[in-house]
Structure 1
Amino acid sequence: MRALIVDDSSFVRDHLKQLLETMNVGCEEAVDGRDALYVLERAEPFDFMLCDVNMPVMSGLECVKALREAGLHPPMRVMMVTTETDYAFIEQALAYGADEFLMKPFTTESLREKLLLLGIHQTH
């Protein structure tokens, strides 16, 4: 199982990586949406991506839209990791191709639950 973590905060990337590695998920990281697209074009396919929304250079929404339009790794599930709770924003993200949302701050258990909703079964 492989995940791409996309967040401009090294603290958040490190935290997510630690949680996922305890679930036996291998992780790669990207610092913004443009970096994520670069990694996706060159790396082996990922099972899922955790993507922050508000980032410099290219936002999470722009990244997901570009990802889906380019057809990069189409089976990959995308979970937005965000503090955004506005319904219009959520609708837009889903229209762009997001599959699920994880609200910050999050717990290990909420991350596990969201992964299960995406059909991602990790080992403990």
Structure 2
Amino acid sequence: MKSCLIVDDSKVIRMVARKILTELQFTTAEAEDGQQALDSCKANMPDAVLLDWNMPVMNGIDFLRALRQLPGGDHPVVVFCTTENDIEHIQEAIEAGANEYIMKPFDSEILQAKFAQVGLFEQG
């Protein structure tokens, strides 16, 4: 079973993402900011990270840059999930190592499609 770390300062977003990912047969862990996420990855590197941009303590882009520097940090598929949808943010995320980018709000179909595109999930 693949694992996904859900990183978002919104408890509601984490809850919705966890429900969707559990239905897609992922085990999930959660973090409410980039620093918690980084600590979690150091302890147990996930297969995927669903990542918000705007968070307290450490934002998503800083987390992503730090993640990619960790041993094994090149392994997780990182999908940004954010309200930041201008081309500059998207380009910055891709350059920092994001694999995909989805806009909030999202639903099960969007998440499933993006995870299938990066090879994490077989669409039926």
TM-score by length of 1: 0.93
Runs of 4 or more above 3 Å deviation: none
**1:8 CA drift (Å):** 0.4
Amino acid at match of 2:54: N
Q: Are the aligned partners of 2:49 and 2:76 in contact in 1 as well (CA < 8 Å)?
A: yes
**1:72 CA drift (Å):** 4.0
Identity of aligned residues (%): 36
Q: Are the aligned partners of 1:6 and 1:51 in contact in 2 as well (CA < 8 Å)?
A: yes
Q: Are the aligned partners of 2:113 and 2:123 in contact in 1 as well (CA < 8 Å)?
A: no
Aligned-pair RMSD on alpha carbons?
1.5
Q: How many residues align?
A: 123
Q: Are the aligned partners of 1:24 and 1:122 in contact in 2 as well (CA < 8 Å)?
A: no
Structure 2 CA distance for partners of 1:52 and 1:38, relative to 1, 3 Å: same
Q: Are the aligned partners of 1:24 and 1:123 in contact in 2 as well (CA < 8 Å)?
A: no
Listed as ranges, the gaps of 5+ residues in structure 2 are none
d(CA) in 2 for partners of 1:58, 1:18: 25
d(CA) in 1 for partners of 2:72, 2:47: 12
Written as runs of structure 1 = structure 2, the 5 A alignment for 1:14-33 is 14-33=15-34
Partner of 2:68 in structure 1? 68
Listed as ranges, the gaps of 5+ residues in structure 1 are none
Q: Aligned to 1:16, what secondary structure does the other structure show?
A: helix
**1:122 CA drift (Å):** 5.3
d(CA) in 2 for partners of 1:65, 1:110: 25
Q: Are the aligned partners of 1:4 and 1:48 in contact in 2 as well (CA < 8 Å)?
A: yes
Structure 2 CA distance for partners of 1:26 and 1:52, relative to 1, 3 Å: same
After superposition, the C-alpha distances for 1:23-75 in whole angstroms (9 at most, x for unaligned) are 111000011000000001112x3110000000010000000011112344321
Written as runs of structure 1 = structure 2, the 5 A alignment for 1:105-116 is 105-116=105-116
After superposition, the C-alpha distances for 1:72-121 in whole angstroms (9 at most, x for unaligned) are 43211000001111101111111111110111011110110000111111
Q: Mean Cα displacement is larger for which, 114-123 or 86-95?
A: 114-123
Asked if 1:100 is matched to 2:92, the reply is no
